[in-house]
């Protein structure tokens, strides 16, 4: 009996530091965030009133907020679809026999280890100084890519893809290496070419990984903040203002904590529902097999 309580003390104390941090910097903020979203909390003022669903109603009417949902979804859609296709292509090529494979991997991965802030600034240099020079050299009339309403979000997505492609490539390579050589060899002997192998063997076998990468990359890209912050300040006319950027300005520039909390909850619901739908599809697919 005494030994048991001593054990409990030992394991409890081991867990304690993580638990304290967890309660302070996760449980309390999450609960408070939910609560704040139903109040008119303003800045650091300690008194505020319960306003029911007013913040949510305002968000649904607020054109500038709806615009950020649009921009974020567009950005995430482009980055997720093209990014995953690109990462998969890189992985398929780098999984085969190739010279200088390690150098190539490093080239694709280094953008991922750089700070997103630095990535944003470097690309703002590329878009504002390099592209005009390239246009001039080609004799094309120069225009501001980041100032163009239709091009600005795709231009940011290019940077998002450049930054993230190496990360998902690493995951896809690991999945491809997990396919046993016997299966590939057997299919080869049966006369399967590259595309047949890809369509009937490789892609179906790594389908769970594709779903994982889709889920991870959707969540990652929907949280984008640094890129519009460094490259466009949300412009032109709010066209590239993303949700996290909007939450940031609502909370820290306009000081409307309550409204910002409601916007955060809406972002969470969006990410969670896409994740759940993808999870559901993945489960369905596994059951079929």
Partner 1 sequence: MDSKISNKPLYIFKVICIWILAAAFFAPLLLVLLNSFKTKGEIMTSAIALPTSFHLDNFAAILSESNFVTSFLCSLFVVAATTSLTVLVSAMAGYSLAKWKNKIAGILMIVIMATLFVPFQVYMVAMIVVVKNLGLTGNIFGLILVYIALGMPVPIFLCRSYAVGMSKEIEEAAIIDGCSKWTMFLRIVLPLMKPILATVAVLNALWVWGEFLVAFLVYGNAKPMTLPLSQRYFYGTYSNQWNLILTNFLISSIPIVLFYVVMQKHIVKGITAGAVKG
φ, ψ (nearest 5 deg) of residue 223: -95, 5
Among 223, 233, 236, 238, binds partner 1 (CB under 8 A): 223
Q: Which is nearer to partner 1, 153 or 271 (CB)?
A: 271
Stretch that binds partner 1, among 54-62, 73-81, 99-107, 147-155 (CB under 8 A): 99-107
Stretch that binds partner 1, among 63-71, 74-82, 141-149, 257-265 (CB under 8 A): 257-265
Please tell me whether residue 50 adopts helix, strand or coil conformation. strand
Stretch that binds partner 1, among 6-14, 58-66, 72-80, 144-152 (CB under 8 A): 6-14
Shortest reach from residue 63's CB to partner 1, in Å: 22
Selection from 93, 76, 220, 275 nearest residue 169 by Cα: 93
Contact call for residue 215 and partner 1 (CB under 8 A): yes
Give dist(CA 56, CA 39) in Å, integer.
11
Query: Residue 236: is the preceding peptide bond cis (ω within 30°)?
Result: yes
Per the CB < 8 A criterion, the answer to whether 80 and 220 are in contact is: no
Q: Which is nearer to partner 1, 54 or 275 (CB)?
A: 275
Contact call for residue 200 and partner 1 (CB under 8 A): no
Shortest reach from residue 223's CB to partner 1, in Å: 5
Using CB under 8 A, count the residues that bind partner 1. 89
Q: Is the dihedral of CA 129, 108, 232, 29 positive or negative?
A: negative
3-state secondary structure 98-127: CCCHHHHHHHHHHHHHCCHHHHHHHHHHHH
| Cα separation of the two ends of the chain | 50
Stretch that binds partner 1, among 52-60, 68-76, 149-157, 255-263 (CB under 8 A): 255-263
Contact call for residue 18 and partner 1 (CB under 8 A): yes
Give dist(CA 211, CA 148) in Å, integer.
33
Q: Which is nearer to partner 1, 87 or 153 (CB)?
A: 87
Among 106, 140, 183, 203, binds partner 1 (CB under 8 A): 106
Q: Is the dihedral of CA 35, 40, 42, 46 positive or negative?
A: negative
Give dist(CA 38, CA 260) in Å, integer.
11
How big is the chain by its Cα radius of gyration, in Å?
24
Stretch that binds partner 1, among 11-19, 63-71, 73-81, 138-146 (CB under 8 A): 11-19
Stretch that binds partner 1, among 17-25, 66-74, 76-84, 231-239 (CB under 8 A): 17-25
Per the CB < 8 A criterion, the answer to whether 163 and 75 are in contact is: no
Q: In this structure, what token pair is assigned to residue 40?
A: 């008119």
Sites for partner 1 among residues 123-152 (CB under 8 A)? 123, 125-126, 129-130, 133-134, 137
Sites for partner 1 among residues 19-38 (CB under 8 A)? 19, 21-22, 24-26, 28-30, 32-33, 36
Sites for partner 1 among residues 151-180 (CB under 8 A)? 162, 165, 167, 170-171, 174
Among 51, 78, 80, 94, binds partner 1 (CB under 8 A): 94
The single residue listed with the structure tokens 């739908």 is 277
């Amino acid at each position: 009996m005494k030994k048991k309580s001593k054990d409990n003390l030992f394991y409890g104390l081991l867990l304690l530091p993580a638990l304290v941090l967890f309660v302070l910097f996760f449980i309390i903020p999450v609960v408070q965030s939910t609560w704040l979203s139903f109040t008119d909390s303003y800045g650091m003022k300690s008194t505020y009133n319960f306003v029911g669903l007013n913040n949510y109603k305002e968000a649904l009417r607020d054109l500038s907020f709806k615009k950020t949902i649009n921009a974020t979804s567009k950005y995430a859609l482009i980055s997720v679809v093209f990014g995953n296709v690109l990462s998969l292509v890189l992985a398929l090529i780098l999984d085969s026999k190739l010279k200088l494979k390690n150098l190539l991997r490093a080239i694709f991965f280094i953008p991922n280890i750089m700070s997103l802030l630095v990535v944003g600034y470097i690309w703002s240099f590329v878009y504002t100084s390099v592209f005009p020079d390239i246009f001039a050299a080609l004799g094309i009339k120069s225009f501001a890519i980041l100032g163009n309403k239709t091009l600005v979000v795709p231009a940011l997505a290019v940077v998002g893809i450049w930054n993230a492609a190496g990360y998902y490539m690493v995951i896809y390579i690991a999945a491809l290496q997990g396919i046993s050589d016997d299966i590939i060899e057997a299919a080869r002997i049966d006369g399967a070419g590259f595309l047949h192998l890809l369509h009937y063997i490789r892609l179906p076998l790594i389908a769970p990984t594709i779903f994982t990468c889709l889920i991870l990359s959707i969540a990652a890209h929907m949280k984008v903040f640094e890129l519009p912050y460094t490259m466009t300040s949300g412009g032109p006319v709010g066209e590239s203002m993303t949700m996290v950027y909007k939450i940031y300005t609502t909370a820290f520039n306009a000081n409307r904590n309550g409204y910002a909390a409601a916007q955060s909850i809406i972002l969470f619901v969006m990410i969670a529902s896409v994740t759940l739908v993808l999870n559901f599809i993945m489960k369905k697919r596994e059951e079929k097999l």
